[in-house]
Chain A
Amino acid sequence: MSTFVIARKEFEDAIRSRALIVMTTLFAAVLAMLVYYQLYVAQAAQMAELRTAESVISWIGTQMTILVPVLGTMLGYKAIVAERESGSLQLLLTLPHTRRDVVLGKFLGRSAVVVVSVLLGFALVGIQFAASSELFSLSVYVMAAVKTAIIGITFVAIAIAFSTAMRTSMMAMWGAIGLTLLFVFLWDSVLVLVESVVERTPENSPVGPVSELPDWYYLIKRLNPRHAFEDVTPYSVELDVFYLEPWFAVVILGVWLVVPLGLAYLRFERGDLA
């Protein structure tokens, strides 16, 4: 019960501080631009007939997974550490709330802000998309909205984990934003490094010197929460391993949701607040 009281207060604070409105407006505006870009500007007009609802919405969803992690991180990284620094956390804990209530409540409240922003943005732009293009598919669009919201929640969890575990806002910011930058902008560079180490040419290849990557390389690619829902293997590669199945996205995101927050909570539970 206490958890929900804190979650509700967090949500109301987001309204008061205009974080909810700013996030929703920003998200919807960017989504609108991407939809228009994709429908009327982006792809060579010559290829218009080749586009499908899946390809268009998937592209839009992928672009939104650049914005959502940043928004989730900005929303989450100060959640606990700022109150710790100001001393209001100690005051909060004098009320009948446990440290677990605080961590979970903050996580739920701020995740709700991300979910509301994402769903409102998708709904508003979806009306325009559906009315102006035959490429709109409700089921695919709803699925993209849900996936985007889940990725947003994951990054809120990671940011709150840093906020819970660190003693200063600066350290929490470096940790959370650093990890987000890694996932959003640097992951591909990491993969190139891995690729250069593990790539090999199969012996007696009938089609000549082609390179081959081990199966687990694709798992590393997919471990980035942004890519969890994607089919990370190229068209030419067909692998039959469980960690590349669609259902494994739930495991990857589940781990990202639970492990950082759990570890941070353990540190927070045992640590001194002063």
Chain B
Amino acid sequence: MNRRHLLGGVLVGALVLFAFPLVSPVPAQDPAVEVLRDPNGSPQSHTIATETVQYRTLSPEAQRWFDDLPQSERTQAAEVLPIDSPPEPWASFIPNDPETSTTANEHPNETQRIQSVMTYIQVKKDDHYHLVVLRRIEPRPPQQAVALRLGSLVGSIGLFGFAGQQWLEGKQ
């Protein structure tokens, strides 16, 4: 096999590996909603809440959904649910996708951006206000899929490097 054939073969291999992540990108994950309920109801209304919901006016399904929420202050204990799983009115409280939602401010600052992906709702139950935080999230893609495509890209870089060296040495 002469240098030209070797160069051609390596280049084809590099191009195939390089094209793989482009043709088959890391699969996008469906957005989800992370929900966290304040464990300690407060007799005072929360100023951060944008909406107040009366527990007794909720449908039985919405009441059950609220009662089943994890009650912890730790973020790790928050529950991640499919975005279409919460019943109404909870579904309507999930923040919109910031990419698609139209806002008056085209260049929001950090605080506005954080607020755009989180909603604070309080539920009044037994004269206590319970804060519920809903956060729109984008779940992490499967790490195997990421590693496969990264490996392919790094492999293609190595082969491009080898082909480049062969070509430059041939030119000299």
Chain B contributes a number of interface residues (CB within 8 A of A) equal to 37
Given the interface pairs A24-B161, A132-B25, the reply to whether A36 lies near B136 with Cβ below 8 Å is no
List residues of A (162-186) whose CB comes within 8 Å of B's CBs.
none
Kindly provide the distance from the CB of A87 to the nearest chain B CB, expressed in whole angstroms.
Answer: 25
Kindly provide the distance from the CB of A234 to the nearest chain B CB, expressed in whole angstroms.
Answer: 14
Which secondary structure dominates chain B's binding surface? helix
Instruction: Of the listed stretches A11-19, A57-65, A76-84, A243-251, name the one at the interface; the rest are far from the partner chain.
Output: A11-19
Our pick among A21, A32, A48, A127 for the contact of B165 (Cβ within 8 Å) is A21
Chain B residue contacts of A45, Cβ below 8 A: 137-140
On whether the beta carbons of B22 and A128 are closer than 8 Å, the reply is yes
* CB of B106 closer than 8 Å to a CB of A: no
Chain B residue at smallest Cβ distance from A48: B138
On whether the beta carbons of B140 and A50 are closer than 8 Å, the reply is no
Which secondary structure dominates chain A's binding surface? helix
Instruction: Of the listed stretches B43-51, B83-91, B152-160, name the one at the interface; the rest are far from the partner chain.
Output: B152-160
Chain B residue contacts of A39, Cβ below 8 A: 26
Chain A contributes a number of interface residues (CB within 8 A of B) equal to 29
On whether the beta carbons of A29 and B138 are closer than 8 Å, the reply is no
* CB of B16 closer than 8 Å to a CB of A: no
Given the interface pairs A32-B154, A45-B139, the reply to whether A16 lies near B172 with Cβ below 8 Å is yes
On whether the beta carbons of B136 and A49 are closer than 8 Å, the reply is yes
List residues of A (182-226) whose CB comes within 8 Å of B's CBs.
none
Given the interface pairs A40-B141, A124-B160, the reply to whether A12 lies near B172 with Cβ below 8 Å is yes
Given the interface pairs A24-B161, A132-B26, the reply to whether A46 lies near B154 with Cβ below 8 Å is no
Q: Would you give the 0/1 interface string for B48-89, flagging 1 where the beta carbon is closer than 8 Å to chain A?
A: 000000000000000000000000000000000000000000
Given the interface pairs A21-B161, A40-B26, the reply to whether A128 lies near B141 with Cβ below 8 Å is no
Q: A32-B153, A125-B153, A131-B25 are in contact. List 9 more A-B contacts (CB 8 A).
A: A18-B165, A21-B162, A21-B164, A21-B168, A32-B154, A33-B150, A48-B138, A49-B136, A128-B22
Residues of A within 8 A of B (CB): 12, 15-16, 18, 20-22, 24-25, 28-29, 32-33, 36, 39-41, 45-46, 48-50, 124-125, 127-128, 131-132, 134
